[in-house]
Amino acid sequence: MTSHPYFVSLHHQFRLEQNLPAIGPLDDAARQIISEAAGVLMPKYCPPARYAQVAALARSHFPHLAPRYAYRGKARQIALFRRLAIPHPKTVIYPSVEAAEKARQRRRCPLSLPFVLKGDSGGGGSAVFPVESDRGFQEGLDRLPSDEPVLIQEWIENGGRDLRVVLMGRLIKSYFRVGGTSFYNNVSKGARIDFELQPELQRTGRERTMDLAACLGIDLAAFDLMFPSDGGPPLFVEINFLFGRKGLGGLKGYQRMFRTAVHEWMDRARAAARVDTS
């Protein structure tokens, strides 16, 4: 490494001392640039194989993308919560819409009405439906992709709100999304954002999120939690690796928070590189 620690960016919107494309083969020169850098800023997305190559060469990198590949989709996340004994809504997973339809037809659904029907993918509540009748169950299934897992979850009374916790590096921000009388608490569906509501619950949610993120190696994501109205621990609902920005002040607010997180990571990586070469 040179006497002056430098950084490499694979992020096309964030230029650093050295800049490389996020895709394509890594030649010997690029490998040397990465391996001798104090750290590598990763792109918003790159193929898993390319990420593995860069992560293996880099002394430090941000953000860590491996959790995005490992925990993509609601079904995988529920399996993760079960394995780690993380509190979450009671959930039944079917491998496909067809399997869920067979369970409905045979009256073998283990959850009583009402419950929540979810597709494995889709954001902003686009694949989430309240189910209060057998007909509503079928109508919801008809709107989901046939080749993806299907989830049904117990209906949690949560006062019409859930907590969004955004983590970027060591920065963390939380706010309640309040849907009022609507089933949906998604901002894209009209929920309002409240930064001041229930500060103690928000603090608890942030603490639980930081513990989970540290366990999983997640340093850029938005976590959704619910607080049951009848008490008990917060329930993790979903980890969003792509998420809305309105609660952060829109695109500019997101960029400010991300830029701060990047510079804080660079300060730590630069200090570590100087110690290694001293």
Q: What is the pLDDT of residues 9-28, one digit of tens each?
A: 999 999 999 999 998 889 99
CATH of the domain at 114: 3.30.1490.20
**Could you tell me if 185 and 249 lie in one domain?**
yes
Domain that holds residue 163: 158-254
Does 140 share its domain with 206?
A: no
**Residue-wise pLDDT tens digits, 106-134:** 887 889 999 999 999 987 778 899 999 99
Q: What is the pLDDT of residue 108?
A: 78
Do residue 108 and residue 46 come from a single domain? no
What is residue 181's predicted lDDT score, i.e. its pLDDT?
A: 65
Average pLDDT over residues 198-222: 98
Task: Give me the CATH number covering residue 224.
Answer: 3.30.470.20
Residues 233 and 262 in one domain: no
| d(C-alpha 215, C-alpha 218), whole Å | 8
Residue 132 located in a structural domain: yes
Are residue 134 and residue 184 in the same domain, yes or no? Answer: no
Give the span between the Cα atoms of 50 and 262, in whole angstroms: 21
- Domain shared by 219 and 182, yes or no: yes
Q: Give the count of domains, the chain.
A: 3
- 142/172 same-domain check: no
183 is a domain residue: yes
